[in-house]
Structure 1
Amino acid sequence: MIFEKKNVLLLVPTFADEGGTQKMVYELGRILAEKYNVFECSFNAFGEPHVFKNDSNVILSLNSPNERSLLSKLKGYPQKIARLKELKKKHKIDVTISNLWGADLVNALSKGKDKIISIGHSSIVGNPQSRLLLKLRRLGEWVYSRFDKIIAVNSSLEKELTDLFNLPRIKVKYINNFIAFPPSGNKDNRTAKELRRLVNVGRLHEGKNLEPLLIILKKLKKEFVKLQLVLIGNGPMKESLIKKAGELDLIVSDVLDERNADLIFTGFVNPFPVLESSDVFVFPSKTEGLPLVLVEAMHTGLPIISSDCPTGGPHVILEAYTPHDPKRVNAEETKYGYLMPIPESNDLSALQVWQETISLLLKNEEKRVKLGHNAKERSLDFSVDKIKHLWFQTIDSLFESNR
């Protein structure tokens, strides 16, 4: 018997961000296209740039510009819901997969004959960007009860979503994020031996907790004069970070090859050449799902120094020996790097732990190489080939009772 391809729609509020959610939707769109007809949709797809774009998939739009105020956002939801209902019917959508709260709300309220899936990308509890959703917890319970399946990107987040929204355990499962790795570059593409480089990749926003890194960098500069911190990404915190760097007398540049700079902002660029020329990946986030940037860094052979932030994504990736603990006070060495306390600008103890751990790695090339080698091996566990079949099984299982 020959079955027609299912039509799958991926919904995200915006394609314009360069964050992990948009990248994951891009990667998911690529692999699902191997088996299904894939449509990718945002609230205003034709009025915004696409940071990541699958040219082989059909792009759809809810034709609803992103509103700034809460009131205008609330007024815009009926239009979004009506438009998505129309698109689902027109394109005979079988499965709609939504990402982030706004898209989840629209997906749930436009549900027709299609099966609907939500992807939980990061912790809600303790996430500054999720304060409103926590206040509307009862609404969240009702919205997520309408979904056929909810996918969390790690096991800790699976438990959080199940408990927070009082969901049946059978409805929630976790599937690790995944990545299609580029061909390996030249690992000899490092900066000159006397120049050391720390690197971070991600949107420059509050949850990434980058300000403490500047304080740590300033302290480390007393020991490593030719040390740089490179921040890859854009975001609303850039100006405040530049201001903080000025207060610390750090030299700031937007030019990657500026050897006299202490802090370099590259903007949104291909991270792999920069990662391959760096020494240590530093990741002080306050909250994460399962951050693909860690996996990307590991694939280039970089050791990782990461906070043990909610909901434990770094803990999962680094395979720590002790339980996930956002309140940890000491560094824990793993096979791939170190799991750390979440640093705060006014927490001298945590800053000291970070400073000492980074210093240890910068001084010990043999340890850096060993941890980096292990990290590259670990990164392969998040390859497309290992994860994509879990997505195929999840989608196909929604229709098994219909066969």
Structure 2
Amino acid sequence: MVDDSVPAPHRAASGDRWSLAVTVIGLGITQILGYGTLYYAFAVLEPQISRDFGWPSSWSFGCLSLALLMGGLAGPWAGRFIDERGARLVMALGSVASAAALVLLSLSQNLVTFALALIIVEVTSVLVLYDAAFAGLSQVAGSKAARRAITQMTLLGGFASTFFWPLTHYLNEQMDWRSVYLIFALIHLGLCLPLHLVVLGKARPPAADETARREDPKADDPVLEPAQGFRAMLWLIAYFCLTGFVYSSFNIHWVSALQQAGFTAAVAVGVGVLMGPSQVAIRFLDMVFGGNLHPLTTGAISSVFLVVALAALLASGVGVVGAVVFAILFGLSQGLSSIVRGTIPLVLFGRTGYGARLGRISAISVAVKSCAPFVFALLIANAGPAFAFSAMAALAALSLITLHFIPRPRLPC
């Protein structure tokens, strides 16, 4: 029975909020499962994989780097697919494709088939991970509500490594890596597929809402004028490339870079543990207090954290306190970066072409990030850790400057 004492618009709004909450939680779960099985598990399984095939670890990670690059280059195609057909269909197909790719990976017999299977895994992952989920939330919630929803979802997604590193380690003690990947394939079919079908039931491609936008042009927040769009896109890509280069350099070389700077391995590993909780904490704070901040302001805060983190590392010598401050601030910065990756393009350009736009940004930034670990290693080897850290601090400062040149949409008079 419907309570007539509650106004119909309020009941509808309340129902929409609950529906959106279900979507956020459901997609948050699929991001934990997706990142856990398609990305984080590899680091745990790699030693057994390399031993099984009889090749050095560098070959396995080389295959992963190639696969990640190919996955990033597939981003624009995946984004256009989502824009045209809707996130529900694409993410459901992505769950099936990811399951099939993990089965192929478990069946690989040599370097060629292993590399090809890993490439397929990372290409299919762009159909189910953050960029696809961001587009799905925008199709369910619209531009206005999507920012908070993206923050909430990334808060949940931040637990992927927390759950899947120990889970993968446990499974790998009970069975071989091939069986682990088969179990992960079943997770995509048994959990991710039905969740995508259920929680994205209200997702509509932007093209389906064109008539509604013409009838109510104020339905979404204002976006940039077309004349400003190209300039904004160039500076935005520059921002994500600069910050991504720094994150990628340290994420790959965290322990070795700190050791070469004079820290012990125990200190490097110990402070590295602080990054995960820092990412989750800042996403929670952004969810509670950041609703009134423009996403470009959030991006600026992220860059400031990164600059200060590197300054603390340079100033600390080999002091443990400096390393702790660096790890916490680095985690805070990286935690916000996942949010602004989805919210800045949405608030600048709107929902039309959102998926394809995220894909183009991802393709370029992934190409840059794939070079980062190699360049960073060269800098440390030839110029020393202090110079390498200073160069990263300069890139972080440049990222802050690029945000200044991005125009903001005009508010309606």
TM class, shorter-length: under 0.3
TM-score between the two structures when normalised by the length of structure 1: 0.24
Larger proportion of helix: 2
Instruction: Flag the structure with more relative contact order, 1 or 2, with Cα contacts below 8 A and sequence separation at least 6.
Output: 2
Larger proportion of strand: 1
